[in-house]
Structure 1
Amino acid sequence: MTQRDERALRRQLERYTLRFNDAFWRFWDEQVAPVLPAAPVIVDVGPGPGLFLRDLSERLPDATLHGVDANEAMVENARAIDYAGPVPSLVLANVESSPLPYDDGSVDLLTMAAVLHGFDDPFSFLREQAARVLKPDGRMLLFDWFRQPMREYVERRLIEPGEPEETRYERALEQFRVHNKYTLDDWRWVFAESGMRIEAETSEPHPFARVWLLRPE
């Protein structure tokens, strides 16, 4: 594992509960769980170290879980952790440059957390990949960043865990450029242009992020 991979893995492990907190799971229970079948097929795109899949495994004992990630270190960590329920099938692949490795109309829920903002072409992924693998009544659960004032973003990042003190400021500036790509209106336009309808949304889990439940139109 490279030092860069090690740092990225540590950040995701330490920040997991900042994203998937009580507010997130409340949204899940109120908006997502009611639309899932008893034994859903769920694909997590960019599962990182696998903690979200681990929690889904505990909550959904009859689910079939999959994860696909472009980072080998993340996939290795996800394969090594303990799962209380179904063990996910994990694939090492870059879905920006290759198709999602799942059959057409086979997925009940496609999830992505803090991944889509990094894609050069989110339209093609949503319109051609997500819509292809989802069942006719399938949904997509998207957690992603939206644009913030620079001062608010940097000051919050300076007090969050997951980065050594000596590199925290530099990292905050670096991530500001990455995380502040889209406004909320930009995201809504991306969804509309990609044939995705917003069924529910919230910003409660994280002040700089939005969680959307989407459905192909």
Structure 2
Amino acid sequence: MEKTQAQILKHHGGDGEHARQMITSTYESRHDNDFWEFWNAQMGTVIDKQDVLLDLGAGIGQFVKDLALRYPHNRVLGIEAAPYMLSAPLALPDNGHLIEDDLNQPQANIAVESVAVVMANMLVHELPQPVLMFKAVYQWLKPGGRFCIIDLVRQPLENYLTHKYPQKTLWNQAVERDEVEDVFDHFLEHNRYHADDIVFMLRSLGFKVVENTPLRDGRFVRIVVQK
């Protein structure tokens, strides 16, 4: 767990407080009407009463809270490792809970084939390897259950730098070395997996691909698979 916590903090620039504020402040824009229309069409249709609903990389529990309110007859669990997220959790409904666990090697006590849906939003690119998490998800999901991944995926350096510097200031203005090195470090982390890499791993475990949709000019992807 300590290794994973150190890795996450480094990925977040060494400032857990800032990371928590940034992630929580953008939650609403990432879970707008379009998102919930997608959720209802692709994920909500496989949820039965009493099924467990699971959010991976749950932060302070925003999505857990939303799901718990929308599905009062279901138990909603969120898994998180970062202490600066777990130290400031939301007040959750009685059917919502946060669990501390290392998603690089999950140990959470979740019953086999008890989960209807799993969400991993902006998580996979943070993992040095997601295989052990994908294996755990496959075990937890009931037959017909679905797993949704929304994440950054590999892109050309030109696209990445154009997004970071839309005014081309990297090329035509003075830029500090630390800034440039930080941008390139993040490029490597955000470029960890291609969408095809994620699909390959999931298919290799037995998942069936339901949706594979590029988002934001191909910088992101939304993948839905079914057990």
Q: Distance in 2 between matches of 1:149 and 1:175?
A: 13
1:79-118 correspondence runs (5 A)? 81-83=90-92, 85-118=93-126
Alignment of 1:119 onto 2:130: no
1:144-159 residue pairs with structure 2 within 5 A?
144-157=151-164
Query: What's the offset of the Cα at 1:90?
Result: 1.2
Q: Which has the larger radius of gyration?
A: 2
Amino acid at match of 1:107: V
In structure 1, what is the equivalent of residue 137 of structure 2?
130
Answer 1 or 2: higher relative contact order, Cα 8 Å, separation at least 6.
1
Instruction: Give a deviation string over 1:25-62, Cα, whole Å, max 9, x none.
Output: 22112211112114431111110122211222232222
SS at match of 1:77: coil
Conservation of the 8 A alpha-carbon contact between 1:106 and 1:135: yes
**Structure 1 unaligned blocks of 5 or more:** 160-165
TM-score normalised according to structure 2 size? 0.77
Cα distance change of structure 1 residues 157 and 28 upon mapping to structure 2, 3 Å threshold:
farther
Gaps of 5+ in 2: 1-8, 167-175
Shift of 1:68: 1.3
- Equivalent pair of 2:72/2:95 in contact (CA under 8 Å): no
Contact 1:50-1:77 at 8 Å conserved across structures: no
SS at match of 1:101: coil
Deviation string 1:168-213 (CA, Å, 9 cap, x unpaired) is: 7665433221111122222221222222211123334785221222
Identical amino acids, percent of aligned pairs = 23
Q: Distance in 2 between matches of 1:86 and 1:150?
A: 46
* Partners of 2:79 and 2:99 within 8 A in 1: yes
TM-score, reference length from structure 1: 0.80
Q: Give the total of aligned pairs.
A: 205
Counterpart contact for 2:106–2:133, Cα < 8 Å: no
Please report how far the alpha carbon of residue 9 of structure 1 lies from its aligned counterpart in structure 2 after TM superposition. 0.5
Q: CA RMSD in A?
A: 2.7
Question: 8 Å contact 1:42–1:66 — kept in the other structure?
Answer: yes
Q: Secondary structure at the match of 1:137?
A: strand
